[in-house]
Amino acid sequence: MKNNNKTPEIMTTSNPNMPMSYEIEENPVLHPVLQRIDSQRSEIDLLKTEQPNLWDIVQKKLKFTWTYDSNAIEGSTLSLGETIFYLQEGLTVEGKPLKDFLDASNHAEAIELLYDVISNQRPVSEGLMKEINALLLSGVKSTPAIDEHGERIEKKARPGEYKQVPNHVLKTDGSIHHYVEPVHVASEMQRLCNWIAEQENELNAIIIAAIAHYNMVRIHPFDDGNGRGARILMNLILMKDGHPPAIVRNEQRRKYLEVLGQADNGDLNPFIEFIATSLAQTQSTIIEKFGATDMIKDC
């Protein structure tokens, strides 16, 4: 994707051969957010030029925060401090599940993979998404699931492999949310990867990233790691375009699930706005912390 500071034109996508989960309407609310992001990006680029030695520290802090928030959204009990301590020192904290530490190290390794993907200009593909999922689930023996009767069960983990049985999710209202059936996963993932490639020079990368994120969640191709994988896919697209990752904060989990629900009901715009705002918030934090002394002493 092009690495420049110009916001590509926001276009309405309409393709009769694509499902509604890829269709968006012109959204004037998004324009000022994208303009803010571009302005912040110019400021960050200048700071990187003026203080190049600090950028590695910035990326390290982003990796810690991204790992903490993404895992916390999925139920990890580790605090940000505990996540940083474990990733830096390799020491666990008493009283916390070992899987939470495993998830932290796996997620951090998946982030490192992204830098290799970007430097080698690897395209988004089914194989890459399987590779990322294999990293996220490395060492995981079983994953929680819900059977056809709505009962909670544990099933053997299959890192890097598409699901073979449906992965229903029990919602807070007691209903069961159904994702794409296993028989359709491969074709849906291929369509997603093709769509990302086709839109590279057509849509703003932020919009592509948000729609790709939503559709991977909608498909839920793996037994576990789908939410974390969707956020990694989103940020891979953003980072390829020269943006930092858009970190979805754990404290915004309720709003995040709300806009995902709106997308399920056919309106993608609130979700795209949420992701764009998350990116703007991340960039604002980078600008605020770029020259701060705590950036050096905490890493």
- pLDDT-derived band at 297 (thresholds 50, 70, 90) equals very low
- pLDDT-derived band at 6 (thresholds 50, 70, 90) equals very low
| Confidence at residue 295, expressed as pLDDT on a 0 to 100 scale | 46
Closest by CA to 82, choosing from 19, 71, 29, 74, is: 71
Q: What's the mean per-residue pLDDT of the chain?
A: 89
- pLDDT-derived band at 156 (thresholds 50, 70, 90) equals confident
Report how far residue 144's alpha carbon sits from residue 204's, in angstroms, rounded to the nearest whole number.
Answer: 36
- pLDDT-derived band at 8 (thresholds 50, 70, 90) equals very low
| Confidence at residue 293, expressed as pLDDT on a 0 to 100 scale | 41
Q: Which CATH architecture has domain 20-289?
A: Orthogonal Bundle (1.10)
Report how far residue 223's alpha carbon sits from residue 163's, in angstroms, rounded to the nearest whole number.
Answer: 5
Mean predicted confidence (pLDDT) in 259-287: 96
With pLDDT > 90 as the criterion, what percentage of the chain qualifies?
Answer: 73
Mean predicted confidence (pLDDT) in 127-146: 91
- As a whole number of Å, the CA-based R_g of the chain is 19
| Confidence at residue 291, expressed as pLDDT on a 0 to 100 scale | 58
| Confidence at residue 165, expressed as pLDDT on a 0 to 100 scale | 87
What tens digit of pLDDT does each residue of 178-233 get? 899 999 999 999 999 999 999 998 999 999 999 999 999 999 999 999 999 999 99
- pLDDT-derived band at 111 (thresholds 50, 70, 90) equals very high
